[in-house]
Amino acid sequence: MSEPKENVLMEKIVSLCKRRGFVFQSSEIYGGINGFWDYGPLGAELKRNVKELWWSGMTRLRDDVVGLEATIIMAPQIWKASGHVDTFCDPMCDCLLTKKRFRADQIEPQSGVAYFFTGAKDATSGKQSNDAFSVLLPAGKPPESARKTATQFYQQRGLATVELLGERSEKVENSQRYNPENGAQLTEPRPFNLMLQTFVGPIQSDDNVAYLRPETAQAIFAQFKNVLETSRQKLPFGIAQTGKAFRNEVTPRNFTFRSREFEQMELEFFIKPDEAVEAILGSVATVPETGHPGEPQPNWGWQAWHQYWVEERVRFYEGIGLSRETLGFHRQSAEELAHYARACVDILYKFPFSKRNEQGELLGEELEGIAARSDFDLSQHERFSGKTMGVFDEELRTAWSKLNDVKKQSISERYYQARLKYLTKSGVETAKAEKDAKEDAEGLAKGQYIPHVIEPSAGVDRLILALIANAYSEVTTTDDKGKSETRVVMKFHPRVAPIKVGVFPLLKNKPELVAKAKEVFTSLRGHMMAFYDDAGAIGRRYARQDEAGTPFCVTIDFDTLGEKPELLNTVTIRHRDDGKQERLPLTELLGWLQARIR
């Protein structure tokens, strides 16, 4: 459970988001729709900035990553191949009394005394219900309260004067089988598929079912061959995509953190299997468990690439204002990993609503997962589509012919075992799996393999919420008369700040100041998001921009117009975070700002 103090902070953040136009509830005028959120003017700018930075960092500034923009609805077979149709489920259960729905695995474990009833009888009509029911009470609470809850349960089943039957009690430790709000028993957990369905075409039949994509990644795999053939990329290389994803989350919560419609920024980075690297270069580079492994090297295997992408992603977060101290890391254990995954590191942000450890420190919630997914994804699409997803590697073929027999045998055997494991785990019967794995190992010797993949998969909305929570700060000032006022200052990194610069004439009623200020504003707005404001006292205008998170404000005063000749065509720039001001010639203004927002 979160501390009340943290909830207060979240409430302040949610209220600021609405008040200043960062985030609104979707369809608010109709009472909203659970799990859907809209971004207002400031939120839309913030989101664009984040996506732009991710996109340019991932694609334009790299030689080895290209972009893709695929459709939201794709052939439903894609979701069969990816496993989403069969296994993309959360366990769901309902309160037997109130019908409230819960994610079974997210219920806070509770201890106490459980009261069990085998059924109940209607004392007047003699009607009987044989539905068993139980109620959990915290230790020390009188059993009467459990009986009251049970009576309500049987009343809902049509009994008027309830006489409870077969009562017994038992101590219970850390149970997730009861509604934490009223102690009533929950239904057995049942799997609930999170994909949102629709129909394509006019006939609403099973044949026309399609899904709104639950992740953007699958389109990248499905288009892998087209991209490879048209982009002139060679392994290792990546394909990046941002876009909407939809999940029918059982319990959307924590503001935008768990939504039903959200955006993802995903990279699939395709690499050679370690066996191919070893055949070409003699060995695969070893890497330290933590720390940046440096510039990519030809002898990198999946471990080095995985570590590289974890560190690159952390650098990205640091570069937009989330320091390492605000982040957490979770390396999935062998039990948590999917059967095909080699490793997965989640990058967490310490949200105000995050759980705490025993020392009271915030643990954080997932912003992004970086997974080493072996060759699972492309292999699945090869099996389901019947189209080859493998690549031919001339370097490997040449290198293979120069290997001695012992090395050939050892590499082949390892590749064979890895392919056999994938095939049998995917349900291919043993004889066929052995035959196919043998063919795959023979293919490797001829320079053919299915690429492996490292997948950094981030959520835009969670990152926006992290940036907002991270930026939120309160400043209390006391005026000459001793009156104190607390204001919000959103300390966004200038790179992501929705508005980069506010431009103000000192006074609204002096046409020459207004004309000059508008001229400055016009000269800046083509280069960055600028905001012109002449309403109210200058202090209030600064305060409004502080709340929007604008890092710089430029004021045009009489000196700009030459009242002090030596200050002609200079302006004051005020810094949001410390309120300090400096004077700058107009000719330098654009360059000065650009250097700070890049």
Which residues here bind ligand ATP, judged by CB under 6 A?
Answer: 215, 247, 249, 258-259, 262, 264, 366-369, 457-459, 461-462
Nearest 5°: the CA angle 5, 9, 11 is 115
Q: Name the nearest CA neighbour of 463 among 264, 177, 226.
A: 264
Q: What is the per-residue burial (b if ≥16 Cβ within 10 Å, else e) of 312-345?
A: bbbebbeebbbeeebbbebeeeeeeeeebbbbbb
Q: How far is the CB of 219 from ligand ATP (least distance, A)?
A: 15
Q: How far is the CB of 263 from ligand ATP (least distance, A)?
A: 8
CA distance 525 to 456: 34
Whichever of 462 and 544 has its CB closer to ligand ATP, that residue is 462
Whichever of 214 and 447 has its CB closer to ligand ATP, that residue is 214
Nearest 5°: the CA angle 315, 321, 326 is 80
CA distances from 456 to 180, 208, 316 (A): 35, 32, 12
Whichever of 258 and 306 has its CB closer to ligand ATP, that residue is 258
Whichever of 120 and 367 has its CB closer to ligand ATP, that residue is 367
Q: How far is the CB of 125 from ligand ATP (least distance, A)?
A: 48
Q: How far is the CB of 587 from ligand ATP (least distance, A)?
A: 44
Whichever of 354 and 457 has its CB closer to ligand ATP, that residue is 457
CA distance 261 to 447: 42
Whichever of 312 and 395 has its CB closer to ligand ATP, that residue is 312
Q: How far is the CB of 28 from ligand ATP (least distance, A)?
A: 19
Q: How far is the CB of 319 from ligand ATP (least distance, A)?
A: 18
CA atoms within 13 Å, Cβ hemisphere of 381: 22
Whichever of 96 and 245 has its CB closer to ligand ATP, that residue is 245
User: CB neighbours of 411 closer than 8 A, spacing ≥ 6?
Assistant: 275, 278, 279, 403, 444
CA distance 85 to 87: 6
> How do beta strands 472-478 and 448-449 pair?
unpaired
Q: How far is the CB of 42 from ligand ATP (least distance, A)?
A: 20
Q: Name the nearest CA neighbour of 517 among 580, 494, 507.
A: 507
Q: Which residue is nearest to ligand ATP (CB)?
A: 459
Q: How far is the CB of 380 from ligand ATP (least distance, A)?
A: 16
Element (H, E) at 261: strand 261-271
Q: How far is the CB of 10 from ligand ATP (least distance, A)?
A: 16
Q: Which residues pair with 193 in a beta bridge?
A: 89
Whichever of 36 and 592 has its CB closer to ligand ATP, that residue is 36
CA distance 190 to 340: 25
Whichever of 87 and 297 has its CB closer to ligand ATP, that residue is 87
**Tokens 């490997």 label which residue?**
396
